[in-house]
Amino acid sequence: MLTQNTTNVVIVGGGTAGWMTASYLSKALQKNVSITLIESSNITKIGVGEATFSSIKSFFDFLGLQEHEWMPKCNATYKMAIKFVNWNTNKKHFFHPFERLDIVDGFSISEWWMKLKKHSEPFDYSCFAAPTLCDSQRSPRYLNGEVFDSRVKQLFSDEHFSEKRLITLADAEGQYPYAYHFDANLIAKFLKDYAMQRGVKQIVDDVIDVKLTTEGSIDCVHTKGNRSITGDLFVDCTGFRGLLINKALSEPFISFSESLLCDSAIAMQVPTNIKKDGINPYTKATALSSGWVWEIPLYGRNGAGYVYSSAFISKEDAEQEFRQHLGPVCQHQQASHIKMRIGRNRNSWVKNCVAIGLSSGFVEPLESTGIFFIQHGIEELVSHFPSNSLNEELIKSYNQAIAKCIDGVRDFLILHYHASDRTDTPFWKATKHDIQLPDELSQRFKLWKKRLPNKKNINPYFHGFETYSYSVMMLGLNHVPENSLPIMEYMDDHKATAQFRSIKEKTELLNSTLPSQYEYLTYVMKSQEQSEYLNENLLDAV
């Protein structure tokens, strides 16, 4: 039972998941709540860069934080896409951008590409502006702070170009035309300061025991410092350990290892000269022999990691391949080895315990969904938050939402491997012949050989990825339908041709007017430093 007057929320575990949860709950729950976060000082901090999903913008907006306030303090950069390298047999890269496809005569521009440009122009560069902007290292914002898609709406109005119909992520709730890269340790520190200013209590100690009530709920946690901390609702942010949800409450974990083969990672900080080399506005994912490498550009350094399957390569050989890929720049850099738990809990809310982040579920970092899962779990917790008693129907609804979200991402990531035409190593052969496809996904693959994915034939549950994402991956991986839709042969092409021309004009305009990401972020950082300097001197004068 929850107390009548004040609900005591105890978050076990800090890091990104813990402090994201604390900061969001401290803003959302405005009265009759006490929030305590317990974190250990002995947890190893890897400190790699973290890439995010476009919905993260709404998280910072909810907290009331402006980009100029938090980005410079977290070495953050903008992310407009993921660049996939060596994921197909012809070694051609392709981009998965945060940019919806335009619609012409009721059909996605991707369908028109299948009919008109399949054999002449790359899909991503024909249908999106982002790939060209990424190649040129453009910023998604002008120096006055204006977002690039807003400028396009002004200049490509109906009066300017009658056939133009812009549909951008900024028009959709919870989505935006860019996401962020940031230092995970620095974002946790920033959100810690934010949460504690809002009354969240921090306890630095190690939880060594969890006591249950006779009914099986968590009564309290005991710490190494001889504290006994009680609570009404416990939030497990202890990562892959699942200290509360799995170890104390014995909730089963459902592994996805039969469908997703990568179970290990090597992470490393990589030095870079951003003034000389610039800052890429995208995450880079390069396929290697037994998995893939992420490269995440931060302001001042990069984060890199090799996600691989331990069934196909040893940790020693994986590190050697990883270092060879990165080249001399990583010669003196220390590597951290991580064993990943791929899958999800059967239920992420059990009794009076809610698991958030890695303790809830994780489906490898291929599409930057780790932070997305944290955000989604927190937002669902707020919308299902109990009053003076735990409601089983609300708990059931929460668990269904979390499970469907994680399962949807699982299916989308399986597509990345299974749809690729690479079979040059044992790992890549196994992704075609040895993995187990969920039944519904198997049926969809058969359909996608005949037609592109659409909103009626992808996973129908919310998992962040829309139809355009599926089409981008299928076409980039050379899993191209045999023909365009038959109906397209009965339709006039002139509007679609005009639309492709408009996309090209829009891209050229943006590419010639947007500042580079390095230029924009340096401008913001210097402006923020100047503002803080003036404020400090003003206070000193007073």
Domain membership of residue 199 (yes or no) is: yes
First to last CA, the chain: 51
Token pair 């592994």 in the structure block, residue: 255
Domain count, the chain: 1
Residue with the bigger pLDDT between 173 and 95: it is 95
Domain membership of residue 26 (yes or no) is: yes
CA distance 402 to 379: 11
Q: What is the pLDDT of residues 149-187, one digit of tens each?
A: 766 655 555 444 333 333 332 333 435 899 999 999 999
The residues carrying an active-site annotation are 79
Domain membership of residue 422 (yes or no) is: yes
Look up the pTM and report it.
0.93
Domain membership of residue 412 (yes or no) is: yes
Q: What is the pLDDT of residues 247-256, one digit of tens each?
A: 999 999 999 9
pLDDT for the residue numbered 482: 85
Summary count for the chain: helices (H), strands (E): 17, 24
Domain membership of residue 364 (yes or no) is: yes
Domain membership of residue 1 (yes or no) is: no
Which of the four pLDDT bands, split at 50, 70 and 90, describes residue 46? low
Closest CA to 59 of 202, 235, 191, 233: 191
How crowded is residue 396: how many other Cβ atoms within 10 Å of its Cβ?
13
CB 128 within 8 A of CB 121: no
Token pair 């919870």 in the structure block, residue: 174
| CATH code of the domain in which 76 resides | 3.50.50.60
Listed in sequence order, the DSSP H helices in 327-438 are 370-383, 392-418, 426-433
pLDDT for the residue numbered 21: 98
Domain membership of residue 522 (yes or no) is: no
CA distance 307 to 481: 29
* Beta carbons within 8 Å of 507's beta carbon, 6+ residues apart: 129, 132, 133
Residue 3 has pLDDT above 80, yes or no: no
Domain membership of residue 236 (yes or no) is: yes
pLDDT for the residue numbered 388: 75
Half-sphere exposure of 258 (CA within 13 A, CB side): 5
Q: Which domain holds residue 46?
A: 7-259+341-498
